[in-house]
Amino acid sequence: SITNLILFLCGCLSNALNTGYKSYKGYAILTVQPGSQKDMEILRKLDSMFEEPMDYLKEPHGLRDKGQILVSPENLLLVKVFLNDHRIPFTTKPIHIGPARSRRALRPTDPYQLSEIVTSYLSYDDQMQYLDKTAAAFPYTTQIKNIGTSTEGRAIKIIKIGFPSPTNQPKPIIWVDAGIHAREWISYSVALFFIQQLTQNQKYSSVIKLIDFVIAPNVNPDGYEYSRTKDRFWRKTRSKHGDNRCYGSDGNRNYPFHFGEEGVTWNSCSEVYPGPYERSEPEVAALVREIMAYRQDIKAYVSLHSYGQEILYPWGHRTGVYPPDVNDLKAVAKKMAEAIQRFDGTVYNVLNSGDGLYPASGASDDWAKSAGVKYSFTIELSPDNLM
């Protein structure tokens, strides 16, 4: 019949349009703002009502700091009722995930055009092409190294940027890595922008005479590609351990410092599953190995995340503990925040990473600090309010 024919055509059409990208239909992003310690406790209680802790796209890192929670349709009503009952004000936004916008591959003629990296999110292959072309164009100041391989076989690459040391002494190093959390796409772009600026902006030539920058623009390539093609909110790696039910570990819970103590869930399907043991993720193992090899030269460690507009300093594995030189760290973080604000008015807050709603152990910043890198930070990039 004609109805069947129409239904059949509709079916074909929607199949053709279906990109296989998870739709997140019915999901919402709830924004909450704890105003008191009591509110914080209530939000923690909200976690314990469900099998899994709330999935914060933006964590509240202190009082009056916003939190944004990704809530599934099954939990939405219950979460709203709970927040209302406890007089925690919130706003709700529906989510619209379109199919991932496909972009053309990098043109071979303009491999390191600024416009390419700031107007779209590059695929992992394009990111690596960008890296290779940059190194080929600036052989004197850059050097690429392959430090390991992801679960699915992608290369973890770093680029070192700096003029050769005039003496034979090693230069001080600033380490920057990006995107251990796959869905935090802006991190990768910022790392590439950083590479572009350090290599091509004359303004920084005196800086790279004094300092070597080591930048790892994509430390979770499998997760990133999965997030680009299958599930926009994928956060973890793509490993599968033993007979775990789900794929992926939270790379930023997998580092060998107070592994598995706080802010983790031992369920492989959880967003904060730390992995079966420390360094179980090949990506993390590679980064640890590399940093350990010249840790005495690394003066600062920066891990790029999003979102929040925050500079976070250690410790973050539990609440209320600080390194003995915490004031030095705070002072440098404040200088960073001031410099950003002078530049374009954007306000970054300087906060301790463990004093918010969730201490989280096994994170890279704490591990780097414990390994002897004095200035260790996690930067939660812009914006402070999603979408």
Q: Which residues bind ligand ARG (CB under 6 A)?
A: 59, 252, 305, 312, 316-317, 353-354, 360, 363, 365-366, 378
- Of 223 and 316, CB closest to ligand ARG: 316
- Of 132 and 262, CB closest to ligand ARG: 262
215: β partners: 159, 176
Which span sits near Zn ion by CB under 5 A: 5-13, 42-50, 212-220, 304-312? 304-312
Query: Counting contacts by CB under 5 A, is residue 61 touching Zn ion?
Result: no
283 is known as an active-site residue: no
The one-letter amino acid at 222 = D
Whether the CB-CB separation of 253 and 360 falls below 8 Å is answered with yes
Quote the least distance from Cβ 51 to Zn ion, whole Å: 22
DSSP one-letter code for 276: S
Q: Is the bond preceding residue 185 a cis peptide, omega within 30 degrees?
A: no
The string of DSSP codes covering 326-360 is HHHHHHHHHHHHHHHHHHH-PPPEEEESSSSS---
- Of 268 and 378, CB closest to ligand ARG: 378
Residue of the chain from 181, 232, 236, 317 that contacts Zn ion (CB under 5 A): 181
Q: Cα separation of 230 and 118, whole Å?
A: 23
Strands 55-58 vs 90-94: parallel, antiparallel or unpaired: unpaired
- Of 53 and 162, CB closest to Zn ion: 53
Question: Which ranges in 177-262 belong to alpha helices (H)?
Answer: 186-200, 207-210, 221-229
- Of 212 and 310, CB closest to Zn ion: 310
Greatest Cα pair distance in the chain: 84
Start-to-end CA span in the chain (Å): 45
Helices (H) and strands (E) in the chain, counts: 11, 12
- Of 106 and 186, CB closest to ligand ARG: 186
Q: Residue 366 binds which entry of Zn ion, ligand ARG, none, with Cβ cut-offs from 5 to 8 Å by kind?
A: ligand ARG
Quote the least distance from Cβ 318 to ligand ARG, whole Å: 9
Token pair recorded at residue 221: 């390539």
Burial of 180 (0-12, 13-18, 19+ CB in 10 A): buried
Residue 15's Cβ-side half-sphere holds a number of Cα atoms within 13 Å equal to: 6
Residue 158 has phi, psi (to 5 degrees) of -125, 155
Element (DSSP H or E) covering residue 255 = none
Quote the least distance from Cβ 217 to ligand ARG, whole Å: 18
CB atoms within 10 A of CB 55: 18
- Of 96 and 334, CB closest to ligand ARG: 334
Quote the least distance from Cβ 252 to ligand ARG, whole Å: 4
Quote the least distance from Cβ 375 to Zn ion, whole Å: 19
Q: Cα separation of 265 and 211, whole Å?
A: 39
Quote the least distance from Cβ 65 to ligand ARG, whole Å: 12
Q: Residue 353 binds which entry of ligand ARG, Zn ion, none, with Cβ cut-offs from 5 to 8 Å by kind?
A: ligand ARG
Q: Closest-CB residue for ligand ARG? A: 316
Q: Residue 378 binds which entry of ligand ARG, Zn ion, none, with Cβ cut-offs from 5 to 8 Å by kind?
A: ligand ARG
Residue of the chain from 58, 157, 171, 305 that contacts Zn ion (CB under 5 A): 305
Q: Residues binding Zn ion: what is the number (CB under 5 A)?
A: 2
Quote the least distance from Cβ 305 to ligand ARG, whole Å: 5
Which residue in the list 184, 283, 310, 380 is annotated as catalytic? 380
* Three-state DSSP class for residue 55: strand
CB atoms within 10 A of CB 350: 19
**Which residues are near Zn ion by CB under 5 A?**
181, 305
Any idea which residues carry the catalytic annotation?
A: 380
